[in-house]
Every structure is written in C-alpha cells, then in structure tokens.
Structure 1
Amino acid sequence: MNAGWVRSAVGAVAVLSLGAQVGAQDSALGGIGAGEFVGVLPFANVSAQVDTAWIGAGIAEAVAADLAERANVVLLERGGADPADACGATRGGRPAGLRWVVDGGFQQLGQQVRITARLVDCETGAVQSSARIDGPLEALFSLQDRIVPELGRGASSGGAPERSSADTTTVPRLEPTPAPPATLPAPRVATGSGGGGLAVVAGAPPAPVAPATVTRNEAGQATVRAVRIAEGLDLNGVLDERPYREVEAITDFIQLEPNVGEPETEKTEVWLFFDDTNFYVAGRLWHSLPESQWIVNEMRRDSFNLLSNEGFGFLLDTFYDRRNGILFRVNPLGGRMDAQITNERDFNGDWNPIWDVRTGRFDGGWTFEAEIPFKSMRYRPGANQVWSVQLSRNLQAKNEQSYLTLLDQGVSQAAIFQVSGAATLVGVEVPSTASRLFEVKPYVIGDVNTTTSGGSQLNDLAGNVGLDVVKVGVTENLTADFTVNTDFAQVEADTQQVNLTRFSLFFPEKREFFLENQGNFSFGVSSGPASASSNTGDTPTLFYSRRIGLSQGQVVPLQAGGRLTGRVGRYSIGLLNIQSG
C-alpha cells in the first residue's frame, strides 16, 4: 500500500454468490405468493422399478430448493394418490396451513425418463398448472431443474400441460402402474441445488403436529417445532416455568462418537421457545457421573477449550440455505462461545452478538437457559419462518458426542459445521420491522499535557470523538455498518506470535466494524472446516481486512467507512468502502 493510495483511498469490495437459474426461478413461481406455505410430495415411481425408487425424493428435494427462496417449503410424505389429501393432512401442523401442493411422478423406459408435475391450489383443489418433461436418464439433474420454470409457464398460459420445446427426445408410451407404497425410505442423499445449497434434506419428515415437537424418519433426519410462549422466560437456569411442564421436550439424540448411529447414553431434553422479542433454547441434561468427575474448567468467552468441556451447542440456519449458520455453545459453568459459520467451513469466532445464558443444577445433571434477541439475528423477510437447527451435546468424561440428527462421522469435531445435515425448524414467528436493529458505539478521548517551566505550569488540553460502529438493520436480512473518525482503542489485543519463517504472520480480524458476515469476504481459505483465523489452504487470501489502516507497518487513520452485508434471495452480498489518510 503506497502513500498516494492512502491519502486518496477509496476501496470497495463486492461479493456475490450467484445461484443458477435465479431469473428463471423468479419468473416461474406462478401464483405462489411470497411467504406462502408450499408442500412438495415425493414424485411417484409410476414405473415401479425398485432400483430407481429414490428418484422421487430427489426430484422433490430439487423442486423444494427452487421454491424455497420465495415460499416456505415443506417436504411431505405420500399418503395417498390425491394431492388434495396432503393439503388437509398437514394443515394442523402449519401456522397458516398449506396454500399449494406440488405433486408429480416419473416413468422410466430403458434410459429414457418422463417427469410430470402439477401445482395444486389447496383452497380450491384445482390444478393451477402442470408440466411434462422428457429426456435421457443421465440428464436427470438438468431435467428436474426445469420443473419449476415449466410450472410457471403453465400457470401463465392458463395451466395447460406442455411438453418442453427444448426437448426433442421421443419417449415411447408408458403404461402406468400403481405407485409403490410410501413405506420404502429414500436413501440419505446429500445433493445440493445450484442456487445456493439445500433447501430441504431429501426425504425429511413432515412438520410435527401439536403437541409433538419433533418428527423423525429412518434415515436419522428430523423436523422440530418451536413453540410461542406468552411471556419470556425468567433466565435463571431453573426450569420451573409452565412451558417446561406443558410442552414436549426434544429428546433421543444420536451418537456421532464413539458409536455412530447409536442412542445417546445420557438423557438430554431440549425446548425451543420464542416470544415477541427473543428466541429461547433451554435444556435439561442428565449425567450419571458425579459433578466432581465432569470435565469443566473453562469460563473464558470464545475459548476453544470449551470444545473439550462438558457442554451443549446449538446452530441456527436462519436463512434456511443449508450452508450458513450461527453457532452458540455453553458449558455447565456458564462459559460460552458464539460464532458465524459460512459455507459449512469458515468459522468466525470473533462475532459476538448480544445474547444471554444461565446454567443451573438438578439432582442428576445440569440445566441451561439461553436467550437470543431477534435483533441479534438476520433472517428472511416474512413473519412465518422456516429455519434449520442442529443441537449437540458433548460428554467429555465419556468421550461421547451426540446430535439431534445423524451426521457423517468423518467430519468429527467439525460435525456442527455440517449445516446441510441439520434438522428443519418450523413454527418460528419473527417480530415486525418496527423492532429493527440499531446500535451505536461512540467514543470520547481526552488528555492533558502539563509542562512545567520556571515555576509555572502550562496545561495543553486535547481530545477526540468519533463513532467506532453504527449498526443499522436495513432489512431483516441486510445490515449496514458505519464508522467515523475511527479509533478501535477497545479492540481485543492480538495473541502474541513468534515468526521463525520467511512468511508473514496472519492475525485474525477483531475490529467490530469488519466482523458482521465476515465470511462473505473470505476468499481463498481452505475448502474444509477451518478457523477463519488461519488460512490452511494453498490458494492465497485475496482480501485481508487487517491491511486496512496500515501502510508499510505504520498506522493510517481511518476517516470514515461504510459496509453492507447480508442476503438478497440467493445472493450473499458484501460491500465495503473505507476512506483513510
């Protein structure tokens, strides 16, 4: 960085994570309104070929992924031939009921496949639009990506079924046979959509109907329900309020270590609540060993030693994109950790939102109550939300890790990063835009320099004032940060490092102005789960914010800066402008 650049510095960085077929999706949603609930049934295996039975769930997952950016999408179980039955069967499990259902089937003859789909209006039972797509089986992924656009074109033309004009393949007539029973579970597939990750996990169970709070399937996947409470919890670690007696707890965690897939050896009960201002996570965790044998010795916030303590963690994917999330962790002493996870790999442990947690004891274990204000989170527009959630427990004394869902044992300690394997969370209702985020962190510095000469004193007064951070919630999913005459004097000091190599040291960014959605600016980091405070990949880090404010090792004052980060549809956005000199 040269001096000329410093004096006139205007820097801008923009990051766009582009999704495939975004324009096609926006024009292909037909009559589906933003935020409406859409149920997607597994596509029926009309040919009844056992070796391709999994395709129906995979097509449903792809359709749900394409619809999820505008609508609240739920994968349903096929209970009958009439999609109108699905409208009524799950209405009680949804806050506003299903408005639409997508139904369809697929037929295979040799290496050719035909996919048919229809969009059904749950209020009238009428078919809003339908589509038919033919092509080779090897092109299945591209064929299923055309379903939603085809349904949209059908809606705009009055709902008449059409064969895709881009398809010239001739498929012989296939005689339909009865669909196979829905009891055959689909394999656990980790397929992603080209527009930004999984919208739902293939074959995920339907939403639980009150009083149930969790539903599961044989593949180890889960859907859980958050419950609204009239009054906030008394945050004291004592689980004695009415909701704990009246609402069923989420239980039956699944081991990842040491015996993957086996039930947990110690009982865990978890509740998910919310009110008009906060989201609550509370738990009662049994432990058969006396407390003297628990491994709990850390109270420092965000210390990685917390990962080696008895503890409980939970991850919230508030955009339901199946790749990003916010992570919270607590141990029995009340030690806490919070972080942002980006693209299932980047860990930003310097992100410190406002939240509170209290722990307690009972005869047989320990408890906790956590309160996260909705203002501390970012989420999609709309009152009724569908998120994903992962819950984890670490029994360090037994070297046991257990999770709400079945995860890949190969990821070990980084299993919580596997956002695509989290459970679906339904029932959350967020507050109106009237409670939008607004934070100001000003600073005032004063000093006096006294000079004594010839028996007289001369006092030279000086000072400075500025704004380290002004944080504004532009929308529910976009946040703007501003800084003026920046000082950053209160920033946590860097950990001392000794450099015995010829390479530059890497220091993590700790200045709060740069921390919101820091992962959007993380270019060139490793492709696996790793800390954002270190670059273990072979690709150079293209953007390193710690260089802002430095020139040849000397501090350069920051006059003003602005930053906009968040999500718009399938786009992850990061804009940055700094004036220095």
Structure 2
Amino acid sequence: MVKFFQVLMVFLVFGVPSSLLAQKFNNAYKLEIKKATSDIEIDGIMDEQSWQDAEVADHFFMILPIDTSFAEVLTDVRMTYDEKNIYIFVNNYHGAPGPYMVESLRRDFSFTKNDNFLLFMDPFDDQTNGFSFGSNAAGAQWDGIMYNGGSVDLSWDNKWLSSVKNYEDRWTFEAAIPFKSIRYKKGIREWGINFSRNDLKTTEKSSWAPVPRQFPSASLAYTGNLVWDQLPPAASTNISLIPYALAGTTKNYNVGDAAGNRHEVGLDAKIALGSSLNLDLTVNPDFSQVEVDLQVTNLDRFELFFPERRQFFLENGDIFANFGYENIRPFFSRRIGLLAPIDFGARLSGKINRDWRLSAMNMQTGQVKEIGLPAQNFTVVGLQRRVFSRSNISAIFVNKESLDYTPDLSLGVLSLFSVQQEPGL
C-alpha cells in the first residue's frame, strides 16, 4: 500500500510517462481547416468562395443499427475560420423520401427524438473536456459543455449564430461559433473533432470518425483531428459585464398598510484569463432568468439533487459535481443562496495546462434574521490531475462557516459549520 501511494505521488508531481499515454483510436482521421478567403453570411446557403475552398469531411460511418459499414444517409461537412469565429457548413441529405422529423423547437432538444446534426470538439486535445454545438432540422440550437470524456451538460448556453435551410433532397446547417464563446489550449494546431448525424426516417445514427455502437457518438476518445493551417487566434481581452436593476412597490389594501418599496442592483462579470482559464465575479446576483426545474414526485426518503442552471456555477462545474454519489455529495452548489441571498462571490476555473484543471470558489451569503440564519461563507476548491490517456485523479476541499454569529435561543442554535439547527433551549 505504501508503494502504491509512492507511485501515485510520482504521477501527480512529475507527470505520467509518455509510454503510458495511448494514441487516439481515430488519429488517422484528419480534417484541415483553412482561414476563410471571403466573408461568410450565416444563412444556410453555401454560396461563399470560402466554402468552395474548404476541405470536405464525408464518408460517415454508421453507429446504429450496426457499426460495421459506411452510413447510407449521406452527410458532408466543411469548416473554416477568421479572426473572430469558427464556421461550419453541413449538408444533411435525406436517406428516405418524406419530410424531416422534429419533436421540439426548444433549445437543447432531445437527441433521439429529432433529425439533427451535432459537432463535438476537444479544443484541449485531452479526450476529456470540450464543447458541443448543433441543430435539429427545424433550426433549434443545441450547445453544451463536455466533461468526463463524453458527458454533455446542456444547462450551459452561449452566444453563437446558426441557420438551417430545407430543400427537397437535404437540409443544411450553417453556424458561426465565436472564439470568445469557448475555451481552448494555446499553442496547439490539432483539436479533437467529430460530427454526429441522427436520421429518424432511416433510424440511422452515424459519425465522421467511427464510434463503436456501445459508445455514445459524443465520446471524445473516438474523435478525429481538426488540423489548423496556422495556430488559432490568440485569446484577446474578453470581459463580459451583465448589470441589472430591479424596482417595485407593493401594498396590501385589505390591511391598509403603507406601500413598501423594493430596489435592487447587481452585476455579473466574466473575465477570460487567457484562452482556457476564466474568472467569474458576481455582486448581489439575480437569478430570475434561470430556467425553472421540472416537477418531480419524490417517493423515497432522500432529497433530490436538481441540476444546477445558474450560469455563474456552470462552466467547469463538473469538477465539483463529480464527487460523491447520486444521493450523497460533499458539495452541492444549489445549496448556496437557497435560504439566504448571495451578497457576492468569485470563481476561478479552467485548464491550467494539459494535465491540470482547477475550480476555486468563494461565496458570501447575507443574514436572515427572521429564521436566525447568520451570514455564511462558502469556500470550495477542486483540483483535477490527468493521468494516463483519459483518467483523472481529483481532490476537493469544502469549508462553510457562519460569520459573526450570535444565536437567538428562541430560534435554535446553529452550528458554525452546518446549516442544521438544534431545537430551542
């Protein structure tokens, strides 16, 4: 046992020998991306010279119902870029006569219930983390953060443009993804990439780089390579400020009370510290724009962990969320701000280098005198170290502490490091 921990510490401190890092399964699949030779309008029409000059990715492989042949439904993909955006154009040809099949126009639709095209990119080339973008045949967008080598968190939404156009023999998808909307490793000319197509009329799922049918098409272990003709543009200053102001007045005419006024202001900020590290700041945040949860009937004795939907907590949130089990977690971000308002907070997260990921957060909540809840501070630090080709070792530190707490015995006594109250004395 002692020797095992000695070897583990060597891996953490000095890294993993290159002989233990396996080559990607689909390393031979390469798509060259060249700088655009003309301006591109996102309209779903392939009439720009840049698309004529771009290399074509076609000859997709079938994943379902079998994974031993080329796809019968034809798809071809082109990609290019300029100083601001990555562009993609896709021709999705019909595999059988009849209209396309779409179940929903909502964002982040159900993959299995729609004719759709998805892009999976690994801009860190670590086969673990990345981004996904796509659309169904009616134009509804899909986007999410990828983690754990193939999981997609669809709560993450960002700014990008897309257009879908339908023809008798095909539907087209064209999109512009800003470099500012994603994170990527500086100084590398090959990103992991794969394209996935779902066609319900033929019940066929396919991908450009072959994926065995027992794996999801999102699996980053089976990506091919997007080869840049030159290094992607260096990350420029990227600061996003989202202020808000809220005002209102209320009055109970039945009781005859005087009118009560309400006024609040707050600010969210996102600051890119390089191409792969991000700083989030918030002061008196307002989460009224967050999508509501689905109603769930809980028939067991354990509480439900609804997914985090607040944008401040989403990016690289998997570093915290992957600890524990479904019903037992050392940290659950939705507890912050559940009983008390958030005064301010900061979170630093992202890739430090190829092998290390970090997420460090400090949040301060306000006092709630009505229930005897003091101001509380939450500090969480998660660190993830890549070992071998697609494995990770992670550690987490969690501290929640009540500040300047003088207990009100009529409301119960609160532990300095717990939200549980003891009965009043």
Normalised to the residue count of structure 1, the TM-score between the two structures is 0.58
- How many Å apart are 1:239 and its aligned residue? 1.2
Within-5 A mapping of 1:424-503: 424-427=225-228, 429-433=231-235, 435-450=236-251, 460-467=260-267, 469-503=268-302
Paired with 2:356 and 2:250, the residues of 1 have a C-alpha distance of 52
- 2:249 corresponds to 1:249: no
Q: Secondary structure at the match of 2:83?
A: coil
Paired with 1:443 and 1:231, the residues of 2 have a C-alpha distance of 39
Query: Structure 2 vs 1, CA of residues 268 and 202 (structure 1 numbering), >3 Å: closer, same or farther?
Result: closer
Aligned match of 1:111: none
Deviation digits for residues 217-275 of structure 1 (CA, Å, limit 9, x no counterpart):
xxxxx121112104442000111111222333111000111121211112211001111
| Structure 1: gaps spanning 5 or more residues | 1-17, 26-61, 67-143, 146-192, 206-221, 527-534
Within-5 A mapping of 1:307-318: 307-318=112-123
Paired with 2:50 and 2:95, the residues of 1 have a C-alpha distance of 26
Aligned match of 1:208: none
Deviation digits for residues 66-94 of structure 1 (CA, Å, limit 9, x no counterpart):
4xxxxxxxxxxxxxxxxxxxxxxxxxxxx
Residue 206 of structure 2 aligns to which amino acid in structure 1?
A: S
Q: Secondary structure at the match of 2:126?
A: coil
Equivalent residue in structure 2 for 1:545, among 299, 324, 333: 333
Within-5 A mapping of 1:521-532: 521-524=320-323
Percent identity of equivalent pairs: 29
Residue 407 of structure 1 aligns to which amino acid in structure 2?
A: V
- 2:193 corresponds to 1:386: no
Within-5 A mapping of 1:554-565: 555-565=339-349
CA RMSD of aligned residues (A): 2.5
Structure (1/2) with the larger helix percentage: 1
Say whether the 8 Å CA contact 2:117–2:134 is kept in structure 1: yes
Larger Rg computed on CA atoms: 1
Paired with 2:322 and 2:348, the residues of 1 have a C-alpha distance of 17
Equivalent residue in structure 2 for 1:201, among 21, 24, 42: 24
| Structure 2: gaps spanning 5 or more residues | 1-7, 367-425
Aligned match of 1:286: 93
Q: Secondary structure at the match of 2:217?
A: helix
Equivalent residue in structure 2 for 1:358, among 138, 163, 179: 163
Aligned residues: 356
- How many Å apart are 1:524 and its aligned residue? 3.3
Aligned match of 1:236: 43
- 2:128 corresponds to 1:302: no
Residue 264 of structure 1 aligns to which amino acid in structure 2?
A: A
Query: Structure 2 vs 1, CA of residues 232 and 543 (structure 1 numbering), >3 Å: closer, same or farther?
Result: farther
- 2:134 corresponds to 1:334: no
Q: Secondary structure at the match of 1:513?
A: helix
Query: Structure 2 vs 1, CA of residues 459 and 540 (structure 1 numbering), >3 Å: closer, same or farther?
Result: closer
Query: Structure 2 vs 1, CA of residues 496 and 457 (structure 1 numbering), >3 Å: closer, same or farther?
Result: closer
Say whether the 8 Å CA contact 1:311–1:393 is kept in structure 2: yes
Paired with 2:9 and 2:288, the residues of 1 have a C-alpha distance of 40
Deviation digits for residues 422-467 of structure 1 (CA, Å, limit 9, x no counterpart):
001111632233x3321111110101235779xx996554301011
Query: Structure 2 vs 1, CA of residues 300 and 20 (structure 1 numbering), >3 Å: closer, same or farther?
Result: farther
Aligned match of 2:397: none
After superposing the two structures, state which structure 1 stretch, 260-269 or 282-291, moved more: 282-291
Residue 35 of structure 2 aligns to which amino acid in structure 1?
A: R
Query: Structure 2 vs 1, CA of residues 201 and 20 (structure 1 numbering), >3 Å: closer, same or farther?
Result: farther
Give the ranges of 4+ consecutive aligned residues of structure 1 lying more than 6 Å apart after TM superposition: none
Aligned match of 1:102: none
- How many Å apart are 1:323 and its aligned residue? 1.5
Residue 572 of structure 1 aligns to which amino acid in structure 2?
A: R
Paired with 2:176 and 2:10, the residues of 1 have a C-alpha distance of 37
Say whether the 8 Å CA contact 1:485–1:560 is kept in structure 2: yes
Aligned match of 2:208: 404
Residue 223 of structure 2 aligns to which amino acid in structure 1?
A: A
Residue 556 of structure 1 aligns to which amino acid in structure 2?
A: A
Paired with 2:319 and 2:48, the residues of 1 have a C-alpha distance of 40
Residue 247 of structure 2 aligns to which amino acid in structure 1?
A: G
Say whether the 8 Å CA contact 1:445–1:463 is kept in structure 2: yes
Query: Structure 2 vs 1, CA of residues 546 and 452 (structure 1 numbering), >3 Å: closer, same or farther?
Result: closer
Paired with 1:432 and 1:388, the residues of 2 have a C-alpha distance of 18
Paired with 2:68 and 2:175, the residues of 1 have a C-alpha distance of 28
Say whether the 8 Å CA contact 1:236–1:359 is kept in structure 2: yes
Normalised to the residue count of structure 2, the TM-score between the two structures is 0.78
Query: Structure 2 vs 1, CA of residues 19 and 204 (structure 1 numbering), >3 Å: closer, same or farther?
Result: farther
